[in-house]
């Protein structure tokens, strides 16, 4: 029988927040895409929450798989001060079906913090009841789909060709203007 474990950690982002519109931040979207690509391969599930520069993540799976991904995550330069908040044996994962669920639950988290008498979201200070509350929120919230819109790749030489075309059009317009002027003068 497999031995499952749930590992919850907190960390601090090393990148500056750069929210464009109401979507998921680009750096977070990249992390989610990596997680959603890798975790099904490793039979891992879990959830991630990010706010005020802090990460709160829950990883669930077989012991060896969780330890391997956690070692990889802990050495990722996109965050620092990675600290395990909870590690417990579980009979079955709770986030089954979510390679890495992402909660857009700022309002709910604020209410949870208030319920536990906390003024801010600071996962390093979380005790077991707050962690359990966060996990309940993440479990019950809808998942957020992500896609990173990278700038469209430019084919080699395409910008040169574009430059040459625009120069040719400028020269042609100038020639038409000069011809029109000459015709007007000769009349």
Q: Dihedral, CA atoms, 27, 28, 29, 30, nearest 10 degrees?
A: 50
Does position 100 bind ligand FAD by CB under 6 A? yes
* Span from 30-38, 128-136, 140-148, 151-159 in contact with ligand FAD (CB under 6 A): 30-38
CA-nearest of 67, 72, 74, 54 to 11 is: 54
Q: Which of 45, 58, 79, 93 binds ligand FAD (CB under 6 A)?
A: 79
Q: How far is the CB of 34 from ligand FAD (least distance, A)?
A: 5
Determine, following the binding rule CB under 6 A, whether residue 123 of this chain makes contact with ligand FAD: no
- Least distance in Å: CB of 1 to ligand FAD? 24
DSSP-derived secondary structure for 132-158: HHHHHHHHHSPP------PPPPPPTTH
39 binds ligand FAD (CB under 6 A): yes
Indicate which single residue of 3, 19, 76, 81 sits in contact with ligand FAD (rule: CB under 6 A): 76
**Residue with smaller CB distance to ligand FAD, 20 or 169:** 20
Comparing C-alpha atoms, which of 70, 27, 13 is closest to residue 46?
Answer: 70
The token pair at 173 is: 């317009």
Q: Which is nearer to ligand FAD, 76 or 120 (CB)?
A: 76
151 counts as binding ligand FAD under rule CB under 6 A: no
Q: Please count the CA atoms within 13 angstroms of the CA of 35 that sit on its side-chain side.
A: 27
């Amino acid at each position: 029988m497999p031995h499952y474990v749930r590992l919850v950690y907190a960390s601090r982002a090393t990148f500056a927040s750069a929210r464009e519109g109401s979507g998921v931040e680009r750096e977070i979207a990249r992390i989610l895409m990596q997680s959603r690509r890798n975790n099904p391969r490793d039979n891992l599930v879990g959830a991630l929450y990010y706010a005020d520069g802090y990460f709160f993540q829950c990883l669930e799976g077989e012991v060896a798989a969780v330890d391997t991904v956690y070692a990889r995550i802990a050495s990722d330069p996109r965050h620092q001060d990675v600290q395990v908040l909870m590690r417990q044996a579980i009979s079955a994962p709770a986030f089954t079906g979510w390679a890495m669920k992402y909660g857009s639950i700022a309002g709910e988290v604020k209410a949870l913090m208030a319920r536990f008498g906390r003024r801010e979201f600071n996962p390093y200070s979380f005790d077991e009841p707050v962690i359990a509350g966060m996990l309940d929120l993440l479990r019950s919230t809808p998942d957020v789909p992500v896609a990173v819109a990278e700038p469209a790749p430019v084919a080699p030489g395409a910008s040169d060709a574009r430059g040459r075309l625009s120069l040719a059009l400028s020269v042609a317009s100038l020639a038409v203007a000069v011809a029109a002027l000459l015709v007007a003068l000769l009349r």
